[in-house]
């Protein structure tokens, strides 16, 4: 029960890694606010938690819109008794294309969700955490934010930007009792990966010392550690959870 009595807000929690994080946090004693753009998947995750005896609420949010974020955070704050202890900034999208063919719409959409969305949620929740003098913000980056990846100029840019924001926020918020870290997953089997050709996945496995792709629980366990008091002296760090992949 490493998160007993803590209130956690997880964005993009309707499926994939976000859902796994929400379920794990609930098992570890947290009250979990399941936030997602898709109301149905958010509600399904929340129901799964409450059906297993946990505490959860679902909330629709468009992380790229300030008004939507503010309304969602206010609802979670009220539900959580005036506090939010943990924010997992997990919501993200991909719209892949090579540099020469990427459209402005593809670029703008990914920047809006993956970078602006992280900033908007971080800002809104940080203001709640400042009222209580403590908290843990964990942002979703990616190994492609460090190494880059073919056909992902937009996605790589956002994930590199998330690392930079994480370091900046850690400096700004640390004196106020708030820790800020990031997780950089490797290739993980989520719905986002379903369109990747099998040949590409086999190549990734061959380059990974552990010879497999990540599973959502692998990433969720890392989020749990950084959210817990066990990581109370860790801030400004980006934790790679990638099986040791060699680029």
Q: Which residues contact 83 (CB under 8 A, 6 or more apart)?
A: 7, 77, 128, 129, 131, 132
Three-class SS state of 60: strand
User: Could you give the count of Cα atoms lying within 13 Å of 126 in the half-sphere of its Cβ?
Assistant: 22
User: Which of 58, 55, 64, 24 is CA-nearest to residue 38?
Assistant: 58
158: number of Cβ within 10 Å: 28
Largest CA distance in the chain: 51
- Active site members: 155
Burial of 201 (0-12, 13-18, 19+ CB in 10 A): middle
Three-class SS state of 202: helix
Burial 31-57 (b: 16+ CB within 10 A, else e): bbbbbbbeeebbbbbbebbeeeebbbb
What does the alpha-carbon distance between residue 137 and residue 10 come to, in Å, rounded to a whole number? 10
């Amino acid at each position: 029960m490493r998160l007993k009595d803590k209130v956690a807000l997880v964005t993009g929690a309707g499926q994939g890694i976000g859902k796994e994080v929400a379920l794990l946090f609930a098992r570890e004693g947290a009250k979990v606010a399941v936030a997602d753009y898709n109301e149905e998947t958010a509600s399904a995750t929340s129901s799964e938690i409450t059906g297993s005896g946990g505490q959860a609420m679902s909330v629709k949010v468009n992380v790229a819109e300030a008004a939507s974020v503010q309304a969602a955070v206010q609802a979670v704050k009220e539900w959580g008794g005036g506090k939010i202890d943990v924010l997992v900034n997990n919501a993200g999208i991909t719209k892949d294309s090579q540099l020469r063919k990427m459209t402005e719409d593809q670029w703008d959409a990914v920047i809006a969700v993956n970078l602006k969305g992280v900033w908007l949620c971080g800002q809104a929740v940080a203001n709640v955490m400042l009222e209580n003098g403590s908290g843990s913000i964990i942002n979703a980056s990616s190994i492609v934010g460090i190494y880059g990846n073919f056909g992902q100029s937009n996605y790589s840019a956002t994930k590199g930007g998330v690392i930079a924001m994480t370091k900046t926020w850690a400096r700004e918020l640390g004196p106020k009792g708030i820790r800020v870290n990031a997780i950089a997953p490797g290739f993980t089997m989520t719905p986002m990966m379903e369109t990747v050709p099998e040949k590409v996945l086999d190549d990734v496995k061959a380059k990974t010392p552990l010879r497999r792709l990540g599973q959502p629980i692998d990433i969720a366990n890392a989020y749990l550690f950084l959210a817990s008091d066990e990581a109370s002296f860790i801030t400004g760090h980006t934790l790679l959870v990638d099986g040791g992949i060699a680029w």
